[in-house]
Amino acid sequence: MVAGRKVGVLALQGGVARHVQALADLGAEPVPVRTPEDLALVDALVVPGGESTTITKLLNSSGLAEPLAERLADGLGTFGTCAGMIVLADGVLDGRSDQSSLAAVDIDVRRNAFGRQRDSFEADLDVAGLDGGPFPGVFIRAPVVERAGAGVEVLARVEGRPVLVREGAVLVSAFHPELTSDRRLHRLFLEEVA
**What is the nearest approach in angstroms of ligand GLN to the Cβ of residue 177?**
12
Q: Give the contact letters, 52-71, x = binds to ligand GLN (CB under 6 A), - = no.
A: x-------------------
> Looking at residue 152, what DSSP letter applies?
P
- b/e burial code for range 4-21 (CB count within 10 A of at least 16 → b): ebebbbbbbbbbbebbbe
- Contact between 93 and ligand GLN per CB under 6 A: no
Instruction: Considering only the stretches 78-86, 146-154, 162-170, 185-193, report the one whose residues sit in contact with ligand GLN under the rule CB under 6 A.
Output: 78-86
In the chain, where does DSSP find H-type helix? 17-25, 36-41, 52-61, 65-73, 83-88, 184-188
Say whether 82 is catalytic.
yes
Selected binder of ligand GLN within 103, 140, 154, 193 (CB under 6 A)? 140
Are residues 124 and 135 in contact, defined by beta-carbon separation less than 8 angstroms?
Answer: yes
Say whether 176 is catalytic.
yes
Instruction: Considering only the stretches 35-43, 48-56, 154-162, 163-171, report the one whose residues sit in contact with ligand GLN under the rule CB under 6 A.
Output: 48-56
Active-site residue among 19, 167, 178, 186? 178
**What is the nearest approach in angstroms of ligand GLN to the Cβ of residue 54?**
8
- Contact between 86 and ligand GLN per CB under 6 A: yes
- b/e burial code for range 150-159 (CB count within 10 A of at least 16 → b): eebeebbbbe
Residues within the interface to ligand GLN (CB under 6 A): 49-52, 82-83, 86, 111-112, 140-141
